[in-house]
Amino acid sequence: MDKRKVILDVDTGSDDAVAIISAVLSKNIEVLGIATVNGNRCVEYTTENTLRVVEMLGVSETVPVVRGCAYPLVATIKRKKPGIPRGHYYQHAEEYKTSGKSIHGDFLDMFPPSTIKEANLNAVSWYIKTLMAAEDESITLIPVGPLTNLAHVFQVEPRTVKKVKEIIYMGGGHLLGNTRPAAEYNVWVDPEAAQIVLESGVRNFIWVPLNATHAAYLTKSDAERIRSIGTKPAEVVAELIEQRIIGYSNYQKVEAPDAAPIHDALCIAAIHDPSVLTDIHHCYAEVDCGGSSCDGETIFDINPGSFEYDKKTPNSYVALGADREKFVNILVGILEGAK
């Protein structure tokens, strides 16, 4: 079976790191590169964290890391928008340290500081160069942070859209938020970017929202099972899962005790076995960019025809569930297969 050509777009904290490890070690995926973006952390930190993961995996010669956008498209200048600032824009660690607590640490401390360097080209230019050299509908994009980079790419060079086979996006929530009552973090940081990408004309836009990732939580026993594989990547993944369980216990409790979602890795699992995503709807979706308390909310019309006067053509797929056991087995299989 031919490997799926994939570009990751990350704001690397703990769950992004698991996604990177899973994608790089997968025998079904060829990672063409990893773009970073402001989100969980400022882009300086997300880039450094990504470099640490890539160096640990020993793939820096074949998987370039390219630094992306430091700011969302408009949220920093539209002061009426609630929750300004969005994401983390801090340029210096001392300033950042005063910004509050989070599930994600500043850096991935289980890794030493990176000794490898990011690519010289910025992420938007690298995307355009890479996509324009590819065959039509040959590249899978897996963004798991704000969509700022891709919004810029599709606006600067619209011809890149036809090179994309699909976008599998960890973002959004159906009547569910984790940053504001109605908004999921990745979309909320840059809702305008999400709407631009959604309207870009990409053939297949697949939402992997909070509804799915919360259903695919991992537990302490899952972490122990992964640790027993006995490799460095497996040990790192187990530690990251345990770190997230502590964070979620303190800040965002999930239904199961001693458990946490590993949001971004579910997108990687979906490449291995699409049936890991369940309750899938082909529907019209849009993002609220209006600046109200619902700013950044994703609206999925999963009841087409319910409003006869305003029928919308479906523009994406959304998975509202996931098979937890299958997700865990896919993750374990990837890590065992890399021994």
Q: Give pLDDT, residue 284.
A: 94
19, 72, 81, 123, 130 from 66: Cα distances, Å: 17, 17, 29, 5, 12
Residue 250, pLDDT > 90, answer no
Give the torsion through C-alpha atoms of 339, 28, 140, 168, to 10 deg: -70
The CB-side HSE value for 230 (13 A sphere, CA atoms) comes to 1
Is there a contact between 242 and 263 (Cβ–Cβ < 8 Å)? Answer: no
Is there a contact between 185 and 16 (Cβ–Cβ < 8 Å)? Answer: no
**273-317 tens-digit pLDDT:** 999 999 999 999 999 998 888 999 999 999 866 656 667 899 999
Helix (H) or strand (E) run with residue 336 in it: helix 324-337
Residue 101, pLDDT > 50, answer no
Q: Give pLDDT, residue 87.
A: 64
The CB-side HSE value for 46 (13 A sphere, CA atoms) comes to 32
Q: Give pLDDT, residue 312.
A: 84
| For range 212-230, the mean pLDDT | 97
**111-157 tens-digit pLDDT:** 889 999 999 999 999 999 999 999 999 999 999 999 999 999 999 99
Q: Give pLDDT, residue 135.
A: 98
Query: What is the radius of gyration, based on Cα positions, of the chain?
Result: 19
| For range 323-332, the mean pLDDT | 99
Q: Give pLDDT, residue 103.
A: 45
DSSP at 33: E
**24-41 tens-digit pLDDT:** 999 999 999 999 999 988
Residue 99, pLDDT > 60, answer no
Q: Give pLDDT, residue 100.
A: 34
In the chain, what are the domains? Answer: 4-337 (3.90.245.10)
Q: Give pLDDT, residue 181.
A: 86
pLDDT band at residue 98 using 50, 70 and 90 as cut-offs: very low
Place of tokens 């026993």: 221
| For range 197-216, the mean pLDDT | 97
51-60, 94-103, 183-192, 271-280: which has the minimum mean pLDDT?
94-103
Which of 57, 48, 61 shows the shortest CA–CA distance to 114? 48
Rounded CA-CA distance 288/42 in Å is: 24
